[in-house]
């Protein structure tokens, strides 16, 4: 009996396993990539009246797991190419220029193919300028049982 050669498992195969929930898959993925060297992804924060604009630069080869969004917000990819896996979007590849809407509850894994600039725009009716406070107002982190600090 001839056995077909086994294909290597890719990051996408890991996330596509349907025997567990999507959040469980992302938790396992986060725990796996937590052992990789951290990626430098510079942020730029601007605060027009009533808004918060957050721009992130993600270098090619990066793999990023997002926080979970609490509200609808527009996003714009002005440079680069990125494959996104999320429960809402499935698995899609976006190439700049691209714009879309992030829905509440969205949590993404992003594989950055080319240096990418991703910008989000959020309501900021209190005109806060502390980007850490705004990050916690707009998003949250799922408790991950596979990470030692459960962050």
Whether 4 is covered by a domain: the verdict is no
Any domain includes 89: yes
Q: How confident is the model at residue 150 (pLDDT cuts 50, 70, 90)?
A: very low
Q: Residue 24 maps to which CATH number?
A: 2.60.120.10
Number of domains the chain is built from: 1
**Distance from C-alpha of 53 to C-alpha of 21, rounded to nearest angstrom:** 32
- Phi first, then psi: what are they for 64, rounded to 5°? -120, 135
The verdict on residue 6 lying in a domain is no
CB 116 within 8 A of CB 81: yes
First-to-last alpha carbon distance for the chain, in angstroms, is: 48
The residue segments making up the domain with residue 129 are: 11-140
pTM: 0.82
**pLDDT of amino acid 24:** 80
Q: Is residue 78 part of a domain?
A: yes
Is residue 36 situated within a structural domain? yes
Is pLDDT of 151 > 50?
no
- pLDDT for 130 equals 97
Asked, for residue 151, whether it belongs to a domain, the answer is: no
Is residue 33 assigned to a domain?
A: yes
Which of 1-10, 60-69, 84-93 shows the lowest per-residue confidence on average (mean pLDDT)? 1-10
User: Residue 56 in contact with residue 41, Cβ under 8 Å?
Assistant: yes
- Of 23 and 130, the one with more pLDDT: 130
Residues 56 and 108: beta-carbon distance below 8 Å? no
- Please indicate, yes or no, if residue 3 is contained in any of the structural domains: no
């Amino acid at each position: 009996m001839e056995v077909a050669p086994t294909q290597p498992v890719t990051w996408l195969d890991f996330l596509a396993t349907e025997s567990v929930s999507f959040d469980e898959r992302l938790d396992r993925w986060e725990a796996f990539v937590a052992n990789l060297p951290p990626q430098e992804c510079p942020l730029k924060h601007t605060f027009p009246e009533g808004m918060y604009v957050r721009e992130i630069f993600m270098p090619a080869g990066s793999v990023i797991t997002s926080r979970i969004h609490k509200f609808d917000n527009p996003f714009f990819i002005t440079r680069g190419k990125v494959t996104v896996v999320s429960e809402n979007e499935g698995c899609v590849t976006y190439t700049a220029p691209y714009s879309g809407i992030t829905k509440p509850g969205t949590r993404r894994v992003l594989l950055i193919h080319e240096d990418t600039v991703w910008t989000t725009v959020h309501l900021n009716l209190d005109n806060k300028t502390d980007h850490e406070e705004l990050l916690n107002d707009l998003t949250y982190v799922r408790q991950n049982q596979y990470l030692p600090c459960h962050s």
